[in-house]
Structure 1
């Protein structure tokens, strides 16, 4: 009985300590005068996230509730505090002016046991800085020109595929088709391999690429925990990339490098530059070249992130053009005028269609592929004009989707209007009102490539086909619960009609 009483006493003390810890943790934002919703045990602010509430609408709800009341509001991931930024000037300060104090994204990676996880998005500190500097030249305008013919050739295959497919049905699920187009493009540019997923949907590139996005090793909550407990996770040698995905992309990278070096093959693509960096003899030192593992990680990032973001951007653009026929007609006229002016489909012609860029920018406003940006404070940071201090180690989140749908920044935010992005309109808006590619030194390094791929895809499609809604078209739009890239739930059907020329 005495033993039982002792155990009961220990249990009561333990429960009391846990209760005290949680209660103390949940007073973090209130003690600092930061507005927030009352947290619940044990989820904090995250109850229902990913189940009854999508991550997109979760951050949007907080933003709309607290904007104008403070420069930031507070969230809790379980007991861990997170700052959601609400003020555009503060966002500019953190992303650009005071970048050094918020230089890391605080994503978990384990490049020792899980080499593909050591890519540019996740790397931090000196590792990130050195790799970023080396890769920047890969995405210069001159490199884009070299890759242009490769992408247009894949565009021609897309046209042929659609011409054959619409003979059987004029209503097609476009999400899958466009994903295969961008996968073929990036597979060629990143690895020099003709994936041809438009013909062979069962090939390994398509299967592994989709698996990496749609069936990650860990669910959303585990991924958040790994981000917050990185040292412990690395000590436990926890991986984030599936073993079969790692084996495939490591194998492809090694075989591609060996083949090119043995046969002295140069293709003016992404892999070429990485091989040149490898031959600077890095020996694992990020200040010199790149190891094979590091090359594989950057190629994996380029492949997986690039195909999904560009394909969904094209998809949402076609969706809005189908619903807004007058915009589709105007854009098609602008493309046709540019073709007449330049005589053929060239890099210069592609860059000479302002209304196309406006259409893509408006698409990215309504449907940013990544709905939030994340940074972590490297030091204590006092929010200008307030007494609030963002403490070292606290993550800050920029709600991109919510900002770009703010009616005070973009009147009638649900309306699709490329005219929002005329030079005059852009000049009159706050520079942080549109963050589809991020901002500051950690913005999207491949934005030129992403824009080129999207431009080529839309030009190819709109010169050959007309798009309109059908009975299966998702109206209104419903998003997938996937936390990685914004995409429609259960695909997206459109009616497609070939354009006949006399």
Structure 2
């Protein structure tokens, strides 16, 4: 009996997928858009689930298969899906016609408390919450917080010196110690120093973004049909709610009792609660700044901040270790800065032009995110190809594939910081370098992340020369991960520069 039920279920899924695939193909043919995936409506996601290929590999292949197409339709269950490739069309989606593409295409159940943040919210609630969180990352706030980031970097150097001979250390996890501490201290006012290697918040950030079958199934269901995901009442982060909301409530309560200003998230949280109901006058949207609501924003900073910064530093060190000539040039610039400074001030960071080029080239090769998704909220026409996009259509934008397109970056697998000279940057189309996204939903903490990465790299490279055992080895990415994470932990050797 059970076998018969399973067989009937399989037949139903195959038939349903075939019918939907045929409908998708016909739908896009009427709009003169090529369709990838044949008659299988779940081809892309079943390939991700049941093969050893990553989502970035699958979309990368689609990108290469249609070199002259400005956009390609892809399989989906209950909504049309369009893979947008041409920079002008991407600009139309992310900036020029943002009012019709502000939605991330992710539906979150109200019970998923920690997901009610600026990353996942949409519409007027997203707009209001972003307005309230943006002041945390103004130039003045970043300048006030930078001395804390610098101190975290100095503490991390002490940690590295203690563990420099630890051959069993995972380089990515070791670097996340700095990423987490330099986020916790200035943003949350938590000065945990070297103890962040065992910090519950760091472990939480790792677990919340860890690629698991359960997490991937949730992502796929939400991508294929956000409405079904919401109807089922599924959540992404429910298991972390009690611990994290409790921790942030304690931070806010302590700041109120101290009655001091530190220019951090806790300050903004206290200010919002003292002001009462948050309201957007244009839409009438209102949000109560409860501990739960504010904890959700803090959770976003944590899960969206630790891994991307770690990946940025990790990728840069990996590429520099393979190019001693470029490494030497970066170290010369850093040494010049430190001649008259024991700390790297906020203003000094902006003068490190070569370090900036090196970091940006690393972020091109190894961007923290491989794909952006949006949902069309109003009828629109993509300019290149005159493609009509209807409300409800999911838009996918392949960041990793664009970053490796030889049209924009000749010899794209070669590490060449001069690609990011002012002249070369101006010669490329817009929307061809998007390590943190672009447009109205550009990562709110991008400038803060750059400060973390550049400050951390400056201190690491001032004190150590980084080497790898095999300079011909390429970085591979974790296939099961939806964000870019290294699969093969590179055996970094941190050689103290006074011992070279």
TM-score by length of structure 2 reads 0.90
Residue pair 1:376, 1:393 contacting (<8 A) in 2 also: yes
The equivalent residue for 2:241 is 246
The equivalent residue for 2:190 is 193
Please point out which of 493, 496, 502 is paired with 2:494: 496
Cα shift at 1:167: 4.1
Matched, 1:62 2:62: yes
Cα shift at 1:27: 2.8
Number of aligned residue pairs: give it.
485
Residue pair 2:112, 2:238 contacting (<8 A) in 1 also: no
Q: 1:31 to 1:337 in 2, by over 3 A?
A: same
Residue pair 1:60, 1:401 contacting (<8 A) in 2 also: yes
Distance of 1:500 and 1:333 partners within structure 2:
15
Please point out which of 207, 211, 220 is paired with 1:211: 207
| Correspondences of 1:5-404 after superposition (within 5 Å) | 20-41=19-40, 43-50=42-49, 51-68=51-68, 70-78=69-77, 80-110=79-109, 112-167=110-165, 169=167, 172-196=169-193, 198-199=194-195, 201-214=197-210, 218-243=214-239, 245-282=240-277, 287=286, 290-340=289-339, 344-384=343-383, 386-404=385-403
Q: 1:200 to 1:299 in 2, by over 3 A?
A: closer
SS for the counterpart of 1:45 is: helix
Residue pair 1:46, 1:78 contacting (<8 A) in 2 also: no
The equivalent residue for 1:405 is 404
Cα shift at 1:327: 0.8
Cα shift at 1:48: 1.8
Task: Select the structure that is richer in helix.
Answer: 2
Distance of 1:390 and 1:183 partners within structure 2:
41
Residue pair 1:370, 1:486 contacting (<8 A) in 2 also: yes
Q: 1:46 to 1:411 in 2, by over 3 A?
A: same
Q: Deviations over 1:434-463 (max 9, x none)?
A: 111222111111111000000110001000
Structure 1 or 2, whichever has the larger Rg, is 1
Distance of 1:291 and 1:143 partners within structure 2:
23
Residue pair 1:172, 1:494 contacting (<8 A) in 2 also: no
Residue pair 1:376, 1:396 contacting (<8 A) in 2 also: yes
Q: 1:15 to 1:109 in 2, by over 3 A?
A: closer
Q: 1:91 to 1:21 in 2, by over 3 A?
A: closer
Residue pair 2:41, 2:75 contacting (<8 A) in 1 also: no
Residue pair 2:18, 2:39 contacting (<8 A) in 1 also: no
Cα shift at 1:231: 4.1
Q: 1:168 to 1:434 in 2, by over 3 A?
A: closer
Query: Which stretch shows the higher mean deviation, 74-83 or 124-133?
Result: 74-83
Residue pair 1:155, 1:457 contacting (<8 A) in 2 also: yes
Q: 1:13 to 1:437 in 2, by over 3 A?
A: closer
Q: 1:89 to 1:279 in 2, by over 3 A?
A: same
Unmatched segments (≥5 aa) in structure 2: 1-10
| Correspondences of 1:421-436 after superposition (within 5 Å) | 421-436=420-435
Please point out which of 477, 480, 495 is paired with 1:479: 477
The alignment yields a C-alpha RMSD, in angstroms, of 2.6
